[in-house]
Chain A
Amino acid sequence: MCVTCGCGDEAGTRITEVFEESQGQPRQGDHGRAGGHGHTHGNAHDSSPERTRTVPLEQQVLAKNDKLAMANRVWLTERAVLAVNLMSSPGAGKTTLLERTVRELGQRAPVSVIEGDQETLFDADRIRAAGSRVVQINTGRGCHLDAEMVGSALRTLDPPSASVVFIENVGNLVCPALFDLGEDSKVVIMSVTEGADKPLKYPHMFRAADLVLLNKVDLLPYVDFDLVRFLADAGRVNPHVEVLQISATKGTGMRAWHDWLCRQVAGAADTAAR
């Protein structure tokens, strides 16, 4: 373990392709992210007073991630693969939505999934059981996916051309909004049990969204959720965002979601043809 910050290799990112039931645990043969855990462990330097010179850098902090995201975007475009980044709080229903989408959409277009979680292969097992190819990224301590992780997962997954790749981000309404993965669209899923105030509490996430899926609408009669306020606040944060009301468990609104996806697939094919 690193004595500087307490991190260890066991906490680093791991990428695992899941072929069969794994009972949620990584198996032997999982491989970590190349390049270790991102910092070196030399000795501290003396900091005695001295003459210094100023060097202008004028560099975007996330330039490296943005460059890798652009490389992912080119890679996906060349293959006419549509990549959709799904983001939400933990428990909003991302995996349940994906299970249903894999079953229902899989007949119209090849679908594969990149699963992001801090630990376990639970979600990858569920997606695999629903009939899709799946690669699990375990971020260890990481609270979001980045373009490097997704690039590695895409090369492991090697999706066929004219297919759809869903990227299920780590459950978190804050950090994933900041990191471009090279995806075509960002979809934010929110459930009615979370409360209608989320667009104003997490404006970065809702502003980043191309589409908002309001999930678990079958529970609306049982929870105190102000739908009118939610739609108005989502519009205040992101005036052009589309909101679809769905229930991933009951199947409500799935046709509108599939139609939206099919429009994106057609768009990705057009872009690839140019």
Chain B
Amino acid sequence: MHELSVTQSVVDAVIDRMGDAEVRSVLLEIGKLSGIEPDSVKFCFEIVASGTTLAGAQLEIVEPPGQGRCRTCGEVLSLDDRILLCSCGSADVEVLAGTELRIRSVQVA
């Protein structure tokens, strides 16, 4: 259940950056390969945000898809999970996208 820590980190980081401003929404980027469950983050967010300047804020999550490049044949491929396998048979794949875990923006009053 590391989503609770991750959500706490989101709320702490927003408070650090925005001070006393009342936050109405948060746009979060959670890549498909990040190992974080967006639904769990949504579940935790309401609880963690309660009693802070983020109380009642909307949480919007975008999920960038996974993408990688095969180090053996050079092909760029889309990745659905952490088991990286190129059609050439090589498992030596460099992950290019999908591991994002980033706060993109907030809307404040």
B109 within 8 Å of A (CB atoms): yes
Kindly identify which residue among B11, B16, B48, B102 contacts A60, using a CB–CB cutoff of 8 Å. B102
Tell me how far the C-beta of A54 lies from the nearest C-beta in chain B, rounded to whole angstroms.
Answer: 5
If A39-B8, A237-B82 touch, whether A61 touches B51 (CB-CB below 8 Å) is: no
Q: Which B residues, 29 to 61, have Cβ-Cβ distances below 8 Å to chain A?
A: 35-36, 47-48, 50-53, 55-56
Q: Contact between B104 and A175 (Cβ–Cβ < 8 Å)?
A: no
Q: Nearest chain-B residue to A47 (Cβ)?
A: B56
- A207 and B14 CA atoms in complex are apart in Å by 30
| Binary CB contact string for chain B from 66 to 109 against chain A (1 if under 8 A, 0 otherwise) | 00000000000000011111000001100000000111111111
Q: Contact between B102 and A58 (Cβ–Cβ < 8 Å)?
A: yes
Q: Contact between B101 and A54 (Cβ–Cβ < 8 Å)?
A: no
Q: Contact between B6 and A62 (Cβ–Cβ < 8 Å)?
A: yes
Q: Which A residues, 21 to 67, have Cβ-Cβ distances below 8 Å to chain B?
A: 38-45, 47, 50-65
Q: Contact between B109 and A203 (Cβ–Cβ < 8 Å)?
A: no
A235 within 8 Å of B (CB atoms): yes
> Which secondary structure dominates chain B's binding surface?
mixed
Q: Which residues of B contact A207 (CB under 8 A)?
A: 82
Kindly identify which residue among B56, B82, B106 contacts A203, using a CB–CB cutoff of 8 Å. B82
Q: Which residues of B contact A235 (CB under 8 A)?
A: 91
Q: How many residues of B contact A (CB 8 A)?
A: 44
Tell me how far the C-beta of B12 lies from the nearest C-beta in chain A, rounded to whole angstroms.
Answer: 7
Q: Contact between B50 and A4 (Cβ–Cβ < 8 Å)?
A: yes
- A201 and B109 CA atoms in complex are apart in Å by 44
Tell me how far the C-beta of B7 lies from the nearest C-beta in chain A, rounded to whole angstroms.
Answer: 9
Q: Which residues of B contact A237 (CB under 8 A)?
A: 82-84, 91
If A52-B107, A177-B35 touch, whether A57 touches B17 (CB-CB below 8 Å) is: yes
Tell me how far the C-beta of A100 lies from the nearest C-beta in chain B, rounded to whole angstroms.
Answer: 30
Q: Which A residues, 189 to 220, have Cβ-Cβ distances below 8 Å to chain B?
A: 200, 203-204, 207
A178 within 8 Å of B (CB atoms): yes
Q: Which B residues are within 8 Å of any A CB, using their own CB?
A: 1-2, 5-6, 8-14, 16-18, 22, 24-25, 28, 35-36, 47-48, 50-53, 55-56, 81-85, 91-92, 101-109
Q: Which A residues are within 8 Å of any B CB, using their own CB?
A: 4-5, 38-45, 47, 50-65, 142-144, 146, 174-175, 177-179, 200, 203-204, 207, 235-237, 239
